[in-house]
Homo-oligomer: A and B are copies of this chain.
Amino acid sequence: MDRKAFQDCYPDMFSHCYGCGRLNERGLKIKSFWEGDESVCTVKPEPYHIGMKGFVYGGFIASVIDCHSTATAAAAAYRREERGMDTDPPLRFVTASLHVDYLKPTPIEGPVELRSRVTEMHERKAVIETDLSVSGTVCAKGMVVAVKIPASMMPDS
């Protein structure tokens, strides 16, 4: 089983994101993997990522859903082309819209698990739905519409 994270296959140009870039030293550096047809990301919030004492702040939840979802869209696009994420040409998606329903407070102790499904996959657009949970309890749900970056905006290598 290949345990290289989706984000570890991004070209350098797309590896500076605060949420998921392996080259952003100040960032969250989330990592996403396939588990069958679901993509999974486990992330540990820092103690200062709180909203109210004891609970994760909403922006952290939105941020990790956002980055994990665009990563999942890219991974699904490679799957659709039946090739690995570390093969050329690179495929990247950006967020057109993000929706988060906050169902209950998310304990800061974590770890926070994101588990996503690709509910729509088109040539240039994907829809990703996510359950965000701690210890098996779903605390938030996300829906991201991600769009493929045009080839003209992609790096040459």
Interface residues in chain A, defined as those with a beta carbon under 8 Å from any beta carbon in chain B:
13-14, 16-19, 24-27, 46, 48-53, 57-60, 62-64, 66-67, 94-102
Known: A19-B59, A59-B66. 16 other contacts (CB 8 A): A14-B52, A16-B50, A18-B48, A18-B50, A25-B48, A27-B48, A51-B94, A57-B63, A58-B94, A62-B62, A62-B66, A95-B100, A95-B102, A96-B101, A96-B102, A97-B100
Q: Which residue of B lies closest to A92 (CB)?
A: B52
Q: Is the CB of A98 within 8 A of B99?
A: yes
Q: Is the CB of A24 within 8 A of B52?
A: no
17 A–B contacts from the bound complex (CB under 8 Å): A13-B52, A16-B50, A16-B52, A18-B51, A18-B60, A19-B58, A19-B59, A58-B63, A58-B95, A59-B62, A59-B66, A62-B100, A95-B100, A95-B102, A98-B100, A99-B99, A99-B100
Question: Is chain A's interface secondary structure helix, strand, loop, or mixed overall?
Answer: mixed
Q: Is the CB of B96 within 8 A of A57?
A: no
Contact of A98 among B46, B60, B62 (CB under 8 A): B62
Q: Is the CB of B18 within 8 A of A53?
A: no
A101–B14 CA distance with the chains assembled, in angstroms: 21
Query: Which residues does chain B contribute within 8 Å of A58, judged by CB atoms?
Result: 19, 63, 66-67, 94-95, 98
Q: Is the CB of B101 within 8 A of A57?
A: no
